[in-house]
Amino acid sequence: MQRLLCVDDEPFILTSLQRSFRNEGYELFFAASGGEALEIMERVTPIQVVLSDFQMPGMNGLDFIRLVKANRPQVVCIILTGYADLRQLASALNERCIFDLVHKPWDRAVLRRTVARAMRQYEIDAAACAAVVDAGK
């Protein structure tokens, strides 16, 4: 089962994300902060894709994603942003810290396609990693 973790400090955004993905076949998890999301990730493995808001109190989405990537580099991460430092996000895209970014308000079809592409990327990366491990045996 493919798992999607959605992180946003605004409850109505999480509700909207739940509606957007409830019929897509993913196992869905929701967190209201980066800290809560990290707790979920400790309990649930694997989570293939993380969809995180950029602007959150305490820990912004990019800082959260950098923590995720430090511990689980295979997780594919997407940023949701309504207003963000685009230079900072462009840098994160260039260093492959984030897979893509989606602007708020989002087009539901675009968001679904972006998450589907991220899920495919996770599978491609996992297959490549397995091939490297198999080649080393």
State mean pLDDT over 86-100.
77
* pLDDT above 90: percentage of residues in the chain: 74
Query: Do the Cβ atoms of 65 and 77 come closer than 8 Å?
Result: yes
pLDDT digits (tens, 9 = 90+) for 34-64: 999 999 999 999 999 999 999 899 998 989 9
84 pLDDT above the threshold of 80: no
Is there a cis peptide before residue 73, judged by omega within 30 degrees of 0? Answer: no
pTM: 0.92
Bond before 46 cis per omega within 30 degrees: yes
- At 134, is the pLDDT very low, low, confident or very high (cuts 50, 70, 90)? low
Q: Could you give the CA distance from residue 51 to residue 16 in angstroms, rounded to a whole number?
A: 13
Classify 3-135 by CATH class.
Answer: alpha beta
How far apart are the C-alpha atoms of 55 and 115, rounded to whole Å?
A: 20
